[in-house]
Amino acid sequence: MTAIETSMAPRPPRHRVNPRALRWWTVQAALTSAAALLPQLVALELSDARWLVVTTSVTACLAAAYVLIMPSWRYRVHRWEADEHAVYTLAGWLHLEWRVVPISRIQTIDIERTLLQRLFGLATVTVTTASAAGPVRIVGLDAQEADRLVRRLTAITQADRGDAT
Amino acid sequence: MNEPAWRRLDVRMLAVFSLSEVGAVVVVLFIMLIGSRGDGAWQLIGAVLAPSALVTHGLLRWLTVRYRVGVERIELRSGLLNRQVRSVPRDRVRTVDLTSSPLHRLFGLSVVEIGTGSSTAKDGRLHLNAVATKEGERLRRELLDRSPIAWAKPTALSALPTSVPGTLPGSGPVRESHLVATLRLSWLRFAPLTTAGLVALSAVFGTGFKLADDVGVRLGDLDAVHRVGDRLGAAPLWLAVVALTLGVLVVVALGSMAVYLEGWWGYRLTREPDGTLRLRRGLLTTRSLSIEQRRMRGAEVAESLLLRLFGGARCAAVSTGLDAKATSHGALLPPAPLAEAHRVAAQVLLLGDPADATGAALDQHPPAALRRRLIRTLLPTVIVVASAWWLATTVPQLAPAWPAALLALPLAALLGLDRYRNLGHALRPEYLVIGQGSLIRRRVALQRRGIIGWRLRQSVVQRLAGLVTVDVVTAASAGRYSVVDLSMDAAVHLVNEVNPGLLPTRHPTNLSADLTNDQEGRFAEPTLS
């Protein structure tokens, strides 16, 4: 980033997600890592091929790094904001993705709560448009705040009825 | 509300249905006659049963399928045991397509396919097989007619070039409709440059071989095949190879021309007074496709490498509610000269000048994008060449051949360069134009009003290079179109040029200030009134 001193970049959205998302992401990462590690550990029990030792230890190192680093990194990145003009999110950790949708193009607003999210009192707000390219998601919101956000967004979008295509 | 009466399919569909399934019945009978030995009674039963089952099936369909077009909805009832009623709101109808196979044409029938905006292709489409062609035309007019429509304002029309070079074939009622393009036979030269012929030919050969095999003819045993084989075997190897290659090329070229003519004979693209674009084509099977003008979100001009070498291109519609399969991916034009493709793209978007759409001059992307293109084409090639070298060192017989692999390096570099050269974007008054690709070079013009969202994506590599990919989200066709490898500055500028103020900006130097200002830890109150 040398030649862009005078140039513009998107301002990150205003709000961080709920800090409980840290723990949620950690548990998720731990589950994913376990799913990758367990079969290899079982295989290691049954045979003691050298390459198996190598792959298992490499997986273990990567998994440890993933569980330790990813959640806090994600928490630093993930942000969102919504006002009467647009819904705007920033997500990712290694790979960043900014998404912005004008309010007038919103078709549906849903709340989604997986079992794991419910354990931490979290929710995901999904904002869909007429595109086949996939919705805008705000993950890791406090469940009650998510409800309030959906109510507000619904009120705003109802005031702004169009074809949205 | 006074609902209209239920209508049936045309009774002539009984004949078409029976005749079109006759092949299957013949096969069944054939198997029964060959397969069962002795017992004549069974054969007789089979010979009577199979055709009558067929006729009954057709009769049942004719009896059970009914449709009606109400003020608000179109309804379709079908099924004897599993009753099905499907109902589609009229204002959801996006396309009404008529298709007539030669058999349908013989009986004056058309298959009507009514498409809605739904992206789940099956649920969103009503299928009527078949009604009288006249009734199909009536349905098309009735369902797509939504006057008054903004585009049909006389000012908008008179601003457009109204004449198309060439004559109008046929004497259809073209008085009010505006002709956009018709087929020129000189375009036939592009036919061999497409894969359509190859695909069709392999299908024909495949079926031919299978049929011959089923009937019990071994092609290898045929006298003619033997004679050709002997002739080729007697000649020197290089001559045989050249002769075979030439032969295959000629057959493929002729085949693809035949496919081109079958598909595009009588091609006419018109703008109808009811606010639709109408495309008619086909020699044996005729097809009529209508797209509502107000559903058009843009157009795409694509050149495969072969087409590009000979100055040809394709043109397709970017529209909501198009079923990619049913409309051959929204093709608006057969493979044709590049300038013609740009002209048609501009015309269907109601623009006089192609430079306002796909023909625009593009802004090039920063040099870092060139580096990325080169790395992405060269790196895999280097790996392949290196493994070829490694193979040559382990298998000595291959050693003389491996330098040939080095040829891949300059080719990869050329590919990377060409990709960069074609990469770019331009903002025109009404359209955003995106260019990219080399093996298939694409130019897509997207209506700025049709953009329903934006995404900026940045991988680790892109972050280091100061690049970002902008996804333009639309309700049409592919859902999103990517502007690859812009500088962050240009990306932010692009979004805010199209939708002023949509993407909040800051100068990168203030990054730390932004982060510390945030209410960390506490859940922030959304700034909604």
Structurally, how many domains does chain B consist of? 3
Best mutation target among B452, B468, B507, B518 (most A Cβ atoms within 10 Å) is B452
More confident residue, B153 or B256: B256
Cβ neighbours around B152 below 10 Å, total: 15
Q: What are the tens digits of pLDDT across the range B50-97?
A: 778 888 888 888 888 999 988 888 888 888 777 788 888 888 787 788
Q: What are phi and psi of B430, to 5 degrees?
A: -115, -15
pLDDT for res B425 = 96
Is residue B1 included in any domain, yes or no? no
Q: What is the DSSP letter of B266?
A: T
**Helices within A78-162 (DSSP H only):** 115-119, 143-159
A152: nearest CB among B452, B501, B528: B528
Mean pLDDT, residues B200-204 taken together:
75
Q: Residues B119, B224: one domain?
A: no
Apex B78 CA angle, B76 and B82, nearest 5? 135
Q: Is A42's Cβ below 8 Å from some Cβ in B?
A: no
- Residue B44: pLDDT band with limits 50, 70, 90: confident
pLDDT for res B174 = 39
Q: Residues B138, B201: one domain?
A: no
Best mutation target among A11, A83, A101, A150 (most B Cβ atoms within 10 Å) is A11
Q: Residues B23, B91: one domain?
A: yes
Judged by CB atoms closer than 8 Å, whether chains meet at A85 and B501 is answered as: yes
Rounded distance between C-alpha atoms, residue B152 and residue B350, angstroms: 10
Closest alpha carbon within chain B to A89: B455
- Which residue type does B230 have? D
Q: Is a pLDDT exceeding 50 seen at residue A159?
A: yes
Q: Residues B134, B202: one domain?
A: no
Judged by CB atoms closer than 8 Å, whether chains meet at B117 and A165 is answered as: yes
Q: Is a pLDDT exceeding 80 seen at residue B349?
A: yes
pLDDT for res B375 = 95
B524: nearest CB among A14, A88, A97: A14
pLDDT for res B283 = 92
Which of B77, B78, B100, B126 is CA-nearest to residue B12?
B100
A-chain residues near B527 (CB < 8 A): 14, 81, 83
Average pLDDT, chain A: 89
Q: What are the tens digits of pLDDT across the range B285-336?
A: 899 988 888 888 999 999 999 999 999 999 999 988 666 665 667 889 999 9
pLDDT for res B339 = 96
Highest mean pLDDT among A104-118, B12-26, B45-59, B73-87: A104-118
pLDDT for res A149 = 94
Q: Is a pLDDT exceeding 60 seen at residue B120?
A: no
Cα dihedral sign for B401, B403, B406, B407? negative
B489: nearest CB among A8, A82, A145: A8
Q: What are the tens digits of pLDDT across the range A35-49?
A: 999 999 998 888 878
Strand, coil or helix: B77 = strand
- Residue B144: pLDDT band with limits 50, 70, 90: confident
Best mutation target among B319, B322, B456, B499 (most A Cβ atoms within 10 Å) is B456
Q: How far is CA B183 from the centre of its chain?
A: 19
Q: Residues B19, B136: one domain?
A: yes
Q: Which long-range contacts (CB under 8 A, 24 or more apart) does B497-503 make?
A: B497/B427, B498/B427, B498/B432, B498/B448, B498/B451, B499/A102, B499/B451, B499/B454, B501/A85, B502/A85, B502/A86, B502/A100, B502/A102, B502/B454, B503/A10, B503/A88, B503/A98, B503/A100, B503/B454
Rounded distance between C-alpha atoms, residue B471 and residue A99, angstroms: 9
Q: Residues B107, B234: one domain?
A: no
Q: Residues B132, B193: one domain?
A: no
A152: nearest CB among B454, B507, B526: B526
Q: How many residues does chain A have?
A: 165
Is residue B92 included in any domain, yes or no? yes
Which of B456, B461, B490 is CA-nearest to residue B471?
B456
Q: What are the tens digits of pLDDT across the range B123-140?
A: 567 888 889 999 999 998
pLDDT for res B482 = 95
CA distances from B292 to B270, B277, B430 (A): 12, 6, 18
pLDDT for res B204 = 75
CA distances from B273 to A22, B175, B270 (A): 59, 10, 10
pLDDT for res B216 = 66
pLDDT for res B157 = 37
Judged by CB atoms closer than 8 Å, whether chains meet at A132 and B463 is answered as: no
CATH architecture of the region A79-159: Roll (2.30)
Mean pLDDT, residues B239-244 taken together:
86
Sheet bearing B296-304, strands edge to edge: B331-337, B312-319, B296-304, B440-447, B431-436, B424-427
- Residue A80: pLDDT band with limits 50, 70, 90: very high
Domain that holds residue B380: 367-504
Q: Is a pLDDT exceeding 70 seen at residue B152?
A: no
pLDDT for res B219 = 63
Rounded distance between C-alpha atoms, residue B433 and residue B483, angstroms: 9
Rounded distance between C-alpha atoms, residue B291 and residue B321, angstroms: 9
Judged by CB atoms closer than 8 Å, whether chains meet at A95 and B493 is answered as: no
pLDDT for res B115 = 79
Closest alpha carbon within chain B to A101: B453
Residue B107: CATH number of its domain:
2.30.29
Q: Distance, in angstroms, between A92 CA and closest chain B CA? A: 10
* B528 and A156 Cβ atoms separated by less than 8 Å: yes
Cβ neighbours around A161 below 10 Å, total: 8
B-chain residues near A143 (CB < 8 A): none
Q: Which of residues 408-467 of B touch A (CB under 8 A)?
A: 450, 452-460, 463, 466
The pairing of strands B93-100 and B268-271 is unpaired
pLDDT for res B529 = 35
Lowest-pLDDT choice from B112-121, B169-178, B215-224, B416-425: B169-178
Mean pLDDT, residues B333-350 taken together:
95
Mean pLDDT, residues A104-127 taken together:
91
Tokens 């045989």, residue located:
B240
Percent of chain B exceeding pLDDT 90 equals: 39
Percent of chain A exceeding pLDDT 90 equals: 65
More confident residue, B168 or B511: B511
pLDDT for res A58 = 94
Q: Residues B380, B258: one domain?
A: no
Lowest-pLDDT choice from A17-31, B216-230, B367-381: B216-230
End-to-end CA gap in chain B: 43
Mean pLDDT, residues B102-114 taken together:
90
Q: Is a pLDDT exceeding 80 seen at residue B235?
A: no
Q: Is a pLDDT exceeding 60 seen at residue B520?
A: no
Q: Is a pLDDT exceeding 50 seen at residue B524?
A: no
The residues facing B434 across adjacent strands are B425, B444
Query: Which residues are CB-contacts of B20 (< 8 A; sequence separation ≥ 6)?
Result: B101, B103
Q: Is a pLDDT exceeding 60 seen at residue A93?
A: yes
Is residue B178 included in any domain, yes or no? no
Lowest-pLDDT choice from A65-69, A92-96, B33-37, B376-380: B33-37
Q: Is a pLDDT exceeding 80 seen at residue A2?
A: no
Best mutation target among B483, B509, B512, B523 (most A Cβ atoms within 10 Å) is B523
Residue B464: CATH number of its domain:
2.30.29.30
Q: What are the tens digits of pLDDT across the range B456-503?
A: 999 999 999 999 999 999 988 778 899 999 999 999 999 999 999 899
Judged by CB atoms closer than 8 Å, whether chains meet at A81 and B527 is answered as: yes
Closest alpha carbon within chain A to B458: A96
- The per-residue DSSP string of B348-364 comes to HTT-S-GGGTTTPPPBP
- Which residue type does B439 have? L
End-to-end CA gap in chain A: 37
Mean pLDDT, residues B245-261 taken together:
88
Q: Is a pLDDT exceeding 70 seen at residue B148?
A: no
Q: Is A1's Cβ below 8 Å from some Cβ in B?
A: yes
Q: Distance, in angstroms, between A100 CA and closest chain B CA? A: 5
A14: nearest CB among B463, B499, B518: B518
> How crowded is the C-beta side of A111, counted as CA atoms within 13 Å?
21
Best mutation target among A5, A98, A125 (most B Cβ atoms within 10 Å) is A98
Closest alpha carbon within chain B to A132: B479
Q: Is a pLDDT exceeding 80 seen at residue B205?
A: no
* B45 and B90 Cβ atoms separated by less than 8 Å: no
Mean pLDDT, residues B442-457 taken together:
94
pLDDT for res B21 = 79
Rounded distance between C-alpha atoms, residue A162 and residue B198, angstroms: 46
Q: Residues B483, B398: one domain?
A: yes
The pairing of strands B268-271 and B178-182 is antiparallel
Mean pLDDT, residues A126-139 taken together:
88
Is residue B258 included in any domain, yes or no? yes
Rounded distance between C-alpha atoms, residue B122 and residue A27, angstroms: 40
More confident residue, B277 or B218: B277
Q: Distance, in angstroms, between A123 CA and closest chain B CA? A: 13
Q: Residues B205, B136: one domain?
A: no
B-chain residues near A165 (CB < 8 A): 117, 320, 450, 452, 475
Query: Which residues are CB-contacts of B157 (< 8 A; sequence separation ≥ 6)?
Result: B178
Which of B500, B509, B424 is CA-nearest to residue A4?
B509
Which of B275, B263, B256, B329 is CA-nearest to residue B99?
B263
Q: Distance, in angstroms, between A52 CA and closest chain B CA? A: 25
Which of B57, B97, B94, B62 is CA-nearest to residue B77?
B62
Average pLDDT, chain B: 81
pLDDT for res B125 = 75
Q: Is A4's Cβ below 8 Å from some Cβ in B?
A: yes
ipTM value for the complex: 0.90
- Residue B383: pLDDT band with limits 50, 70, 90: very high
